[in-house]
Amino acid sequence: MNRYIFFIFLLLSCQNAINIDTKPPETVNADNNKKYNEYYKRAQQLINVRNDSAFYYLYEFTENTNDTLLLAYATIQMGAIQNDAGDYLGSIESLLKGIPFLDEKNAEHQEYLSSIYNELAISCKNLKHFDEAIRYFNLAIQYSNDSTNRLIRLNNLAVAYKDTKLFQKAINIYDSIITSHQAPPVEFARVLSNLAYTKWLQNKSYNAKPELQEALQIRRQINDQWGIQSSYSHLADYYLSTNADSAFTYANKMLSLSRELYSPANETKALEKLISLAPSDRSKSYFTRYQFLNDSLQTASNTAKNQFALIRYETEKSKTQNLVLQKDNAEKNTRLVINQAVIFVLVLLSVISYFWYRKRKQQALQKQQLKTSQKVHDVVANGLYRIMTKIEHQPDLEPELILDDLEELYEQSRNISYEDFTKNTQKTDDEITQLLKSFSTDTRKISIVGKISDTWNKLNTTQQTELRFVLEEIMINMKKHSGANYITIRFEDNHHQVKIQYIDDGCGLAPGQKYGNGLNNTVSRINSIGGQITFDSSFSQGLKILLIIPIP
């Protein structure tokens, strides 16, 4: 059985010519990647020979081209290949990909839009979504500038109306095509046969025989084999209830011709008719053949759908791998920049330390030593630690942003040796929010409660500067020592005082634990602006810190 299914799949791959009624653009855009230009040319060679391989090259081309017209044409071919193989949903997905690249106001683009909408309508009709099919056929007609193509799309629209039993609408369209005298013989015969068949469906007493026979005669004269097959189908249906022998004759002719044309889908339609018309001894063999073909077609269709999906998956997978490789290279470059920046900072800090030493010798040694140590800790160490935190938790951080932070740290470091360095350390309420949020990670959540702007802007410059260093020191101490996962920072004021409450779920402070230099600095800074700071680790878990600063 498997070898028969494989045979049917081969028929599905090449049984019907994939005819695109819109001509392709004449040239491939020279600006395209040469490799993908070759993909497009290779696809054109494989159309109707190995449609699965043609689909692969077309898909690769559409993912990498910048030629809008060729991209649109390639999506039309992809949709037609999938339609022919029974992958109607995949066909719709491919066709929709081409629409955004076309300008409906550009006359050169309109015929491609028409072809896309026509193929979309065919997919929807095959899925029995007739309302959508009618809508797309109308759009195809609207954008068609070619008289022959327009007649084909009008015929398709009429067939959709016929399938939804809107017979009069279908008949009106067929009549307009017939009376226009513009249809070439192959289209005239198609419309004439469809018109007669639709009139008969509307009124079973209508004598459709002369028109059906005329259409068949025209098709024989121009050797339109696929059209002849359609005429046989219409005639078999027409005679089904009035002349069983004639119906059987035409159904049998349809069966023979479908086998000559290697058309399993049309063979199944012929077998359906013969099952009800043939004697019981022959009907069984027809049914057996019909069941085999129907199952094989379904299996082959599912195989084709999976094959197209696999082609898309493999292409997307390759693209993702390339992006990952590019990302790795970018990360290596970033690490190189960071290493250079760290060396620069270390050298800079060495130079600054030398000048600090000379400055300290001119003043009271103990007082200046304490004061300078505090500045170095808050400005340089905390600043550098904050930058390291960013780099650690934001691997995609752009080198320019790191250099900006280092430049800011550099400017702050230059002014450490002067008494007034608030100009470089003062921060706005938005920057304070960013400072606090910068310590957030995938496993550490930071919540800020209250509007910082309502409280922050009520403090003077000195208070803002000192409070900024206090908050930064608390967050750094939390990251280094607490192991906290959830941190809440609440800002509020009562017109006289600003209150800031910090709570985390970390390990807290052990009873009698002595503060290090960092926390001692926070106490000293809060006291210097007339505020109060309270450390409380008496509740169940974590640490609570309350800051109270008077409003000037």
Q: What whole-number distance in Å separates Cα of residue 275 and Cα of residue 289?
A: 10
Asked whether residue 34 is domain-assigned, the answer is no
Q: What whole-number distance in Å separates Cα of residue 431 and Cα of residue 465?
A: 12
pLDDT score of 404: 59
Q: What is the extent of the structural domain holding 517?
A: 429-552
Domain count, the chain: 1
* Distances in whole angstroms, Cα of residue 542 to Cα of each of 160, 474, 482, 533, 537: 71, 13, 8, 17, 6
Percent of the chain as helix, strand, coil, to the nearest 5: 70, 5, 25
Asked whether residue 109 is domain-assigned, the answer is no
Q: Is 277 helix (H, G, I), strand (E, B) or coil?
A: helix
Provide Rg for the chain, Cα atoms: 40
Q: What whole-number distance in Å separates Cα of residue 93 and Cα of residue 152?
A: 23
Identify the CA nearest to 162 among candidates 134, 190, 140, 204: 134
Write out the DSSP string of 289-349: HHHHHHHHHHHHHHHHHHHHHHHHHHHHHHHHHHHHHHHHHHHHHHHHHHHHHHHHHHHHH
Identify the CA nearest to 54 among candidates 20, 29, 26: 20
Task: Give the CATH number of the domain where residue 452 resides.
Answer: 3.30.565.10
Amino acid at 51: N
Token pair 């017109």 is at which residue? 495
Phi, psi (deg, nearest 5) at residue 445: -100, 135
Amino acid at 333: N
Asked whether residue 275 is domain-assigned, the answer is no
Asked whether residue 368 is domain-assigned, the answer is no
Q: What whole-number distance in Å separates Cα of residue 71 and Cα of residue 40?
A: 10
Q: What whole-number distance in Å separates Cα of residue 18 and Cα of residue 40?
A: 16
Element (H, E) at 504: strand 497-504
Q: What whole-number distance in Å separates Cα of residue 461 and Cα of residue 422?
A: 8
- Burial readout 446-461 (b: 16 or more C-beta within 10 A, e: otherwise): beeeeebeebbebbee
110 close to 143: Cβ distance less than 8 angstroms: yes
Asked whether residue 100 is domain-assigned, the answer is no
Asked whether residue 212 is domain-assigned, the answer is no
Q: What whole-number distance in Å separates Cα of residue 36 and Cα of residue 68?
A: 14
Asked whether residue 37 is domain-assigned, the answer is no
pLDDT digits (tens, 9 = 90+) for 445-501: 999 998 888 888 888 988 888 888 889 888 888 888 888 899 999 999 887 899 999
What rounded mean pLDDT belongs to the chain?
A: 78
pLDDT score of 11: 43
Asked whether residue 485 is domain-assigned, the answer is yes
Write out the DSSP string of 49-110: T-HHHHHHHHHHHHHH---HHHHHHHHHHHHHHHHHHT-HHHHHHHHHHHGGG--TT-HHHH
Tens of pLDDT along the chain (552 residues) come to 344 444 444 444 444 556 676 777 765 554 455 666 777 888 788 777 777 777 877 888 878 777 888 888 888 888 888 888 888 888 888 888 888 888 889 988 888 899 899 999 998 998 899 999 999 999 999 998 888 888 889 999 999 999 999 999 999 999 998 888 888 899 999 999 999 999 999 999 999 999 999 999 999 999 999 999 999 999 999 998 889 889 899 989 999 998 898 888 888 888 888 888 877 778 777 777 877 877 766 766 666 556 665 555 555 555 555 555 555 566 666 666 777 777 777 777 777 877 767 676 666 545 554 555 555 555 665 666 566 666 766 666 666 666 656 656 555 665 555 555 444 456 678 888 888 888 888 888 999 998 888 888 888 988 888 888 889 888 888 888 888 899 999 999 887 899 999 999 888 877 766 666 667 778 888 898 899 998 886 766 788 999 999 988
Amino acid at 302: N
Global pTM?
0.50
